[in-house]
């Protein structure tokens, strides 16, 4: 990247004094704009120039004299401080914005206005663009050409572009639940602090960058204010492929909606830190909780406790719960008796203690690179005859099989193909892991598919869920969505008969799976019944 930082010429407006107001910057994105750049910058209102802390002109490897024109303008008298940069490689419309917003943050700006160098958007309205941000009313301001009915057509917008804009905006509003008058304006002002909170560096480098940043703002619950701006279409060259752009923006919004339902990864939308507690009927958490309701109160180690929602329900049943996770979600310590911060990839920590009647590892071991080692560590903290309640997704489910068969294997935001899963289990594979980790299987059941997580509560989800549960009973390896297992440490002993050995004592040590386990009554070598 080549850069030209101006030296302050005579007649330059005074910079805003520190503490007198926000530092306002104007980001000018330019590509082959030699003919229009200086004219556009000349239109910045004279009485607003003194309020501009800095103008950032980013030339995206233009093939004409855009860089020279920008440098020339920056040296004029009476213009705000101007930094001119030229990328040696074309970054694309979105890539150029990423570089500009990073530069705005680096240079300590509070507000940054996106201005196109081709003059399509009116620099005369810069004061109006920043006013809502200065008043603290929002985190973003969009200049909308559609706020004035018919104004876009009067300003020279071609009819096919007007129709495309209206149709796409309606589709996007419908999918996102928003009420913007226009999604496709490039005239925008942002709070730089808000931009820091958004993962804009993950966005596309193409023209649909603007759509992705709208989705990010809405997802984060940030406020957007629209103001009417005039439409101007001159003889500037349009570098946008309209059909490809339409496809890309619809794909972006659909990708976001699917990610909210668990499908796909949508890397430009941050995933929640806390692992969601799934209490709907048929979920693994609900199945484990039903089993725990049949257990006498005891000491519980909740592995992967996240925010402690599951632990709180166990505490309400009379259990004493120690939560363990690699991140501390706010509020977790109020929902369990004790919390241990530890990464299971390093093994079960000594701080967790031992002597637990129950260990719960619901949807945990699939996130580990060495689950067998962790299970052996969990076995060591259980009392003789204690219980490990385990749940894992079934990689043999028809959804995962279909994705593999059709060559569309990929990760999702959650579910069987969760992007954070490191290990995948079928029923046979899970049983091998259980045995090699030193556990005996007391019960292994499968749950149906969680249609409620995709469709929400309602008759359709309920009906499909009932069908799924029926099919799961018929063929759990194909239709079971998750496996829920109740395990106990393997306690087999080999005893040599002799004159000092009590025969009845040997018989009493026989493995009896039908005996009910009660915490505090731990006969050596005995385990409880399937639950």
Q: What is the CATH number of the domain that holds 111?
A: 3.90.550.10
Q: Is residue 406 part of a domain?
A: yes
DSSP 516: P
| Closest CA relative to residue 188, chosen from 26, 44, 51, 38 | 26
Phi, psi (5° rounding) for residue 228? -70, 135
Q: Is residue 484 part of a domain?
A: yes
| Judgement on whether residues 143 and 60 belong to the same structural domain of the protein | yes
| Judgement on whether residues 126 and 204 belong to the same structural domain of the protein | yes
Q: Is residue 329 part of a domain?
A: yes
DSSP3 helix / strand / coil % (the chain, rounded to 5): 35, 20, 45
DSSP 480: -
Indicate the number of domains in the chain: 2
Which token pair is 432? Answer: 């091998």
Mean pLDDT by 10 residues, the chain (531 residues): 52 52 96 96 96 97 96 94 96 97 97 95 96 97 91 84 92 96 95 97 96 97 96 66 90 93 88 67 84 95 95 96 96 96 96 96 96 96 94 96 93 90 96 96 92 77 87 94 94 65 61 50 36 34
Domain boundary among 212, 245, 260: 260
Domain that holds residue 65: 2-260
| Judgement on whether residues 39 and 151 belong to the same structural domain of the protein | yes
Q: Is residue 279 part of a domain?
A: no
Residue 293: which CATH number? Answer: 3.40.50.150
Within 10 angstroms of residue 517's Cβ, the number of other Cβ atoms is 24
| Judgement on whether residues 177 and 230 belong to the same structural domain of the protein | yes
Domain boundary among 227, 244, 260: 260
| Closest CA relative to residue 184, chosen from 129, 103, 248, 125 | 248
Which token pair is 228? Answer: 């009417």
Residue 359: C-alpha distances to residues 270, 281, 354, 375, 382 (Å): 31, 22, 10, 10, 7
| Judgement on whether residues 255 and 289 belong to the same structural domain of the protein | no
Whole-structure pTM value: 0.74
| Closest CA relative to residue 128, chosen from 230, 227, 44 | 227
| Closest CA relative to residue 53, chosen from 3, 85, 19 | 19
Q: Looking at residue 529, what is its pLDDT?
A: 33
| Judgement on whether residues 494 and 346 belong to the same structural domain of the protein | yes
Which token pair is 336? Answer: 């369990």
| Judgement on whether residues 388 and 351 belong to the same structural domain of the protein | yes
| Judgement on whether residues 44 and 160 belong to the same structural domain of the protein | yes
Q: Is residue 63 part of a domain?
A: yes
Give the helix/strand (H/E) hosting 246: helix 242-260
| Judgement on whether residues 333 and 252 belong to the same structural domain of the protein | no
Q: Looking at residue 149, what is its pLDDT?
A: 84
Q: Is residue 18 part of a domain?
A: yes
DSSP string, 294-350: TSPP-EEEEET-TTSHHHHHHHHTT-EEEEEESS--TTGGGTSSEEEE--GGG-S-G
| Judgement on whether residues 194 and 289 belong to the same structural domain of the protein | no
pLDDT over 90 for what percent of the chain?
72
Which token pair is 37? Answer: 């750049």
Q: Looking at residue 141, what is its pLDDT?
A: 98
Q: Looking at residue 282, what is its pLDDT?
A: 66
Q: Is residue 520 part of a domain?
A: no
Start-to-end C-alpha separation, the chain: 66
| Judgement on whether residues 230 and 299 belong to the same structural domain of the protein | no
Q: Is residue 159 part of a domain?
A: yes
Beta 24-30 vs 52-59: how paired, if at all? parallel
| Judgement on whether residues 32 and 145 belong to the same structural domain of the protein | yes
**Cβ–Cβ under 8 Å, residues 142 and 211:** no
List beta partners, residue 115: 28
């Amino acid at each position: 990247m080549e850069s030209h930082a101006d030296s302050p010429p005579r007649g330059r407006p005074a910079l805003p004094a520190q503490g007198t107001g926000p530092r306002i910057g104007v980001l000018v994105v330019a590509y082959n704009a030699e003919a229009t750049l200086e004219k556009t910058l000349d239109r910045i209102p004279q009485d607003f120039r003194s309020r501009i802390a800095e103008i950032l002109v980013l030339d995206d490897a233009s093939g004409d004299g855009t860089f020279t024109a920008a440098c020339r303008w920056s040296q004029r008298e009476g213009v705000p401080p101007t930094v001119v940069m030229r990328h040696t490689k074309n970054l694309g419309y979105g890539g150029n914005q990423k570089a500009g917003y990073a530069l705005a943050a680096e240079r300590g700006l509070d507000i940054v206005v996106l201005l196109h160098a081709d003059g399509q958007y009116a620099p005369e309205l810069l004061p109006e663009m920043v006013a809502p941000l200065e008043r603290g009313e929002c985190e973003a301001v969009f200049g909308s050409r559609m706020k004035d009915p018919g104004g876009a057509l009067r300003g020279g917008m071609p009819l096919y572009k007007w129709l495309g804009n209206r149709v796409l905006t309606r589709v996007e509003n419908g999918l996102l639940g928003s009420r913007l008058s226009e999604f496709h304006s490039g005239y925008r002002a942002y709070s730089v602090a808000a931009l820091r909170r958004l993962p804009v560096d993950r966005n596309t480098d193409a023209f649909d960058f603007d759509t992705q940043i709208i989705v990010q703002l809405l997802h984060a619950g940030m406020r957007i204010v629209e103001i009417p701006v005039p439409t101007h279409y001159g003889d500037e060259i349009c570098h946008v492929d309209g059909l490809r752009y339409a496809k890309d923006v619809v794909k972006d919004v659909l990708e976001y909606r699917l990610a909210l339902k668990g499908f796909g990864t949508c890397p430009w939308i941050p995933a929640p830190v806390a692992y969601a507690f799934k209490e709907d009927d048929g979920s693994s958490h609900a199945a484990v909780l039903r089993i725990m309701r049949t257990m006498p109160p005891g000491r519980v180690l909740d592995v992967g406790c996240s925010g402690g929602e599951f632990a709180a329900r166990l505490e309400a049943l009379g259990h004493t719960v120690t939560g363990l996770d690699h991140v501390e979600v706010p509020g977790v310590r109020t929902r369990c008796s004790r919390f241990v911060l530890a990464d299971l990839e390093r093994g079960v920590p000594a701080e967790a203690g031992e002597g637990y009647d129950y260990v719960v590892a619901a949807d945990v071991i699939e996130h580990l690179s060495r689950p067998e080692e962790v299970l052996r560590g969990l076995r060591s903290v259980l009392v003789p005859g204690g219980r490990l309640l385990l749940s894992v997704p079934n990689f043999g489910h028809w959804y995962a099989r279909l994705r593999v068969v059709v060559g569309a294997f990929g990760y999702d935001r959650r579910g069987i193909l969760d992007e954070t899963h490191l290990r995948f289990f079928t029923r046979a594979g899970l049983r091998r892991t259980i045995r090699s980790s030193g556990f005996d299987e007391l019960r292994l059941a499968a749950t149906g598919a969680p249609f409620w997580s995709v469709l929400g509560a309602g008759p359709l989800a309920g009906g499909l869920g009932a069908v799924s549960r029926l099919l799961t009973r018929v063929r759990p390896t194909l239709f079971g969505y998750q496996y829920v297992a109740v395990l106990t440490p393997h306690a087999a002993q080999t005893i040599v008969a002799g004159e000092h050995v009590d025969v009845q004592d040997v018989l009493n040590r026989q493995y009896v799976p039908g005996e009910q386990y009660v915490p505090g009554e731990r006969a050596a070598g005995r385990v409880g019944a399937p639950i």
